[in-house]
A and B are shown apart, each in its own frame.
Chain A
């Protein structure tokens, strides 16, 4: 395939059938592959926010790291990724990250502990213009002007998150991947941060928003992708999540909705299967109330149901 030719009309970022596995030594001589992402597909357009929700350890952060080429050496990656019509090779990833693709990392420990946070947000750029831009962003996030002279250990959890978000907002990147940017912020600040992502998207950038605050994400995202055990189980317009479980397609998305504190706070029982012993059929089958023998035999393919995608034989 000619990798330089641009695919016309294709989404800004496409991830197709991505699989990631880690090589692990489980005994002195034995090596085992741990499959953490399997057959995962998502896409995001310019002007769009794709929110990614799903269970902890379902591969959300790994996807972000795979797009940026930040996975460790023992990871084996299969599948294809396209960025702006170009094949996203390791070489291209290295060129793009930090320039055209920006990451808001998940852990506040990604901040350099020995560098004042103002300087970290400004990055390698020098001069008054960037300083002004940084101060403007800090004001917007209710970070006082004295904060730019502080070191990360002097910040509260919510403040550190707002600093991390600032680093992405100030960059000129066209694709912003925010990995849980809102924990520790109060609702107003979280909404402010999410609104900036909305504005970035409206100005023609593409945003991937990985979040557990799904109730907040519903209100600003265009599409929601639900991850479970390393794959996508549903991709749906956010309106469906607002209208409630009847509008959703996959039993897991419905369970997510019902577990929200404002919607009953009732968890389904059981746990996400561990990557080492994934079930052979549908990954959600062990916890599903409407499973049939068919579900336990093979992984359902993604199919279109009511203007969304779902990985379930029984969704209507």
Chain B
């Protein structure tokens, strides 16, 4: 299994400036790749493209040579930087988990998700608590690649270490591919087997890049 970005270019809206230009990269299953680069260089945008949340203007995102499936749950799962924006605010947490079909007791327990939290709305939980749900639902049975976009910055260091250790164990056991976007150099060194510096693969002219940095 291989997740690949082939000559991918992207901009938000027509007439906007290019965020990514002719980006090529590939991640094999079992690999743990760190995606690093300064803030605003398109790391999160690339994460969204790889997981099918955005479509590239040019180029392709390929999973084993085929485009990502349009229907059903996506085998490439994104864990988003802002959990409060990734969860339906009108759903109770139980429904959020049910949507993904994730009900593995082991994972919920390992992530420290209290049964009581399932009856709450997202606004009644802290950012760190919400992020555990996002991690839990991304680890459902069909996942083949995980894209973790700054997934642990809102967690305390102990929870961070706990969640990463669990993730690495799952990734190892199921042979998943992992792409990690992080600013924490120490964390990247701990977690990743390989690093990609986005400023080296993104062939955007620097003057443009400096003047505008769209992404979210």
Query: Chain A residues in contact with chain B, CB under 8 A?
Result: 53-58, 61, 106-109, 144, 146-147, 150, 153-159, 180, 183-187, 189-190, 212-215, 255-256, 259-262, 265-268, 271, 274, 276
Of A56, A146, A183, A266, the residue contacting B161 (CB under 8 A) is: A266
**Bound Cα distance A276, B115 (Å):** 12
B153 and A183: CB pair below 8 A? yes
Tell me the minimal C-beta distance from B25 to chain A in angstroms.
19
Interface string of B38-78 (1 = CB under 8 A from A): 11100010000000000000000000000000000000000
**Bound Cα distance A190, B153 (Å):** 12
**9-residue interface stretch from B26-34, B123-131, B137-145, B171-179:** B123-131
**B158 is an interface residue with CB less than 8 A from chain A:** yes
Known: A255-B158, A259-B161. Contact between A274 and B40, CB under 8 A? no
Residues of chain B with a CB closer than 8 A to A256's CB: 156-158
28 contacts between A and B (CB under 8 A): A55-B128, A56-B159, A57-B126, A61-B126, A107-B84, A107-B127, A108-B82, A144-B211, A144-B213, A146-B211, A146-B212, A155-B214, A156-B44, A156-B215, A157-B39, A157-B216, A158-B183, A184-B150, A184-B183, A212-B154, A214-B157, A261-B161, A261-B189, A265-B165, A267-B159, A267-B161, A267-B165, A274-B116
**Bound Cα distance A54, B158 (Å):** 9
Residues of chain B with a CB closer than 8 A to A56's CB: 126-129, 154-156, 159
**B101 is an interface residue with CB less than 8 A from chain A:** no
B112 and A271: CB pair below 8 A? yes
B156 and A55: CB pair below 8 A? yes
In the complex, residue of chain A having the shortest beta-carbon distance to the beta carbon of B130: A56
Known: A107-B127, A261-B190. Contact between A53 and B154, CB under 8 A? no
A212 and B157: CB pair below 8 A? yes
In the complex, residue of chain B having the shortest beta-carbon distance to the beta carbon of A152: B216
**Bound Cα distance A260, B39 (Å):** 22
**B193 is an interface residue with CB less than 8 A from chain A:** no
Of A147, A156, A259, the residue contacting B160 (CB under 8 A) is: A259
B12 and A154: CB pair below 8 A? yes
**B105 is an interface residue with CB less than 8 A from chain A:** no
**Bound Cα distance A271, B129 (Å):** 12
B186 and A212: CB pair below 8 A? no
**Bound Cα distance A255, B162 (Å):** 12
Residues of chain B with a CB closer than 8 A to A159's CB: 39-40, 213
**Bound Cα distance A186, B153 (Å):** 12
B158 and A267: CB pair below 8 A? yes
B187 and A261: CB pair below 8 A? yes
Residues of chain B with a CB closer than 8 A to A144's CB: 210-213
12 more A-B contacts (CB under 8 A) besides A55-B156, A157-B44, A212-B156? A56-B129, A56-B156, A58-B156, A158-B183, A159-B40, A183-B154, A184-B39, A259-B158, A260-B157, A261-B190, A267-B159, A268-B158
Known: A56-B154, A256-B157. Contact between A261 and B213, CB under 8 A? no
B157 and A186: CB pair below 8 A? no
**Bound Cα distance A155, B184 (Å):** 20
Of B40, B153, B183, the residue contacting A212 (CB under 8 A) is: B153
Tell me the minimal C-beta distance from A58 to chain B in angstroms.
8
**B114 is an interface residue with CB less than 8 A from chain A:** yes
Residues of chain A with a CB closer than 8 A to B212's CB: 144, 146
Residues of chain A with a CB closer than 8 A to B214's CB: 150, 154-156
Tell me the minimal C-beta distance from A311 to chain B in angstroms.
18
**Bound Cα distance A190, B150 (Å):** 14
Known: A146-B211, A185-B183, A186-B38. Contact between A156 and B216, CB under 8 A? yes
**Bound Cα distance A209, B144 (Å):** 39
**B85 is an interface residue with CB less than 8 A from chain A:** yes
Q: Which of A56, A146, A274 has the most CB of B within 10 A?
A: A56
A156 and B40: CB pair below 8 A? yes
Of B128, B129, B216, the residue contacting A154 (CB under 8 A) is: B216
Residues of chain B with a CB closer than 8 A to A157's CB: 39, 44, 81-82, 150, 216
Q: Which of B39, B158, B165, B187 has the most CB of A within 10 A?
A: B158
Residues of chain B with a CB closer than 8 A to A267's CB: 158-159, 161-162, 165
**B185 is an interface residue with CB less than 8 A from chain A:** yes
B161 and A153: CB pair below 8 A? no
**Bound Cα distance A190, B155 (Å):** 17
A276 and B126: CB pair below 8 A? no
A265 and B162: CB pair below 8 A? no
**Bound Cα distance A248, B70 (Å):** 53
B157 and A158: CB pair below 8 A? no
**Bound Cα distance A261, B160 (Å):** 9
